[in-house]
Amino acid sequence: SIPLGYFGGIGAASKNGILFKGSNFLDVIANIQNVVMDKTGTMTEGVFKVQEVIFNNDFNQSEILEMVNALESKSTHPIATAIHEYVGEVNTQLQLDDVEEIAGHGLKATINGKNLLVGNLKLMDQFGISYDPEVTKIVYTLIAISYDEKFVGYLTVADRIKEDAKLTIEKLKSLGIKTTMLSGDKNAVVQYVAQELGIQNAFGDLLPEDKVKKLQEIKAKNQTVAFVGDGVNDAPVVALSDVGIAMGGLGSDATVETADVVIQDDMPSKIPMAINIGKQTKKIVW
């Protein structure tokens, strides 16, 4: 039979918007040694805003932005929302063919018989598009564009760190827990956010499969890990961790379904709270 303490723990958690999908996870979370987290949507709001538009003069900026907006309308990525907010309504007259979303890179399509690429510099590299190396030094998240095999320019976008993110890391540290950030975003941006928050280890420029590899490396050191994420790309790492935690508000269905614990209001401070509830429940049960 299940001891009464577990019901108390699950109830206390649920009152705080933390849904445990089984009482066994209260035990596991109580002993977590490393909290591994995604950046976008987990420690940051996940709402990007366009900051700057830097285009080569050879291109008609508004024409290209219309094409970019039409292509991004095929994506659910937070970057797509930022583009839509900036450019406005999508021109439905534009005919896009062979639309492809390339995980961790961006988007590709054919328009007027020419290739349009919208994504990060890795995407540009993959298709052999050359650009000024100075562009690699920009610390913002960058949306690079190429049209007809030529580099058109880029937009910079920025996100905001969640209000309780810093306190979350401080609390985890005071519990003696290691913190790690894994992200598909540019490494310079990831290092900046990690430093702001006091996260001990941070890795950027990761493809979804790289996140899995990093998590396996941590598990191989015999550390019990919790992974916290929100995106579709996070579902495999959520599944692989000892406790998978999903941000339930912004989170993709796949990630929420795979998770063992769901944080309904997306507040990262609910992570140390869940750990504390796990620890207190154990005290009562034993």
Nearest residue to ligand ADP on Cβ basis:
184
CB of 137 to ligand ADP, least distance (A): 16
Distances (CA, A) of 61 to 3, 54, 94, 265: 65, 9, 16, 39
Tell me which of Mg ion, ligand ADP, none is bound by residue 141, counting a contact when its beta carbon lies within the kind-specific cut-off of 5 to 8 angstroms. ligand ADP
DSSP string for residues in 190-212: HHHHHHHHT-SEEE-S--HHHHH
Catalytic choice (38, 159, 230, 266): 38
Question: Taking contact as CB under 6 A, which single stretch among the options 8-16, 103-111, 166-174, 270-278 is the one that binds ligand ADP?
Answer: 103-111
27 contact partners, CB below 8 Å, separation of at least 6: 278, 282
Judged by CB under 6 A, the residue of 18, 38, 131, 177 near ligand ADP is 38
CB of 53 to ligand ADP, least distance (A): 14
Task: Return the number of other C-beta atoms located less than 10 Å from residue 92's C-beta.
Answer: 8
CB of 41 to Mg ion, least distance (A): 5
55 contact partners, CB below 8 Å, separation of at least 6: 61, 64, 152, 153
Candidates 202, 258, 206; CA nearest to 229 is 258
Residue 132 CA, chain-centre distance (Å), reads 28
Candidates 108, 109, 71; CA nearest to 91 is 71
Pick out residues in 170-229 that bind ligand ADP (CB under 6 A): 183-185
Question: Taking contact as CB under 6 A, which single stretch among the options 117-125, 129-137, 145-153, 169-177 is the one that binds ligand ADP?
Answer: 117-125
Q: What is the largest CA-CA distance in the chain?
A: 73
Tell me which of Mg ion, ligand ADP, none is bound by residue 153, counting a contact when its beta carbon lies within the kind-specific cut-off of 5 to 8 angstroms. none
Give catalytic status of residue 38 as yes or no. Answer: yes
Residues that bind ligand ADP (CB under 6 A): 38-40, 72, 75, 77, 79-80, 104-107, 118-120, 141, 143, 183-185, 231, 233
Q: Which residues are catalytic?
A: 38
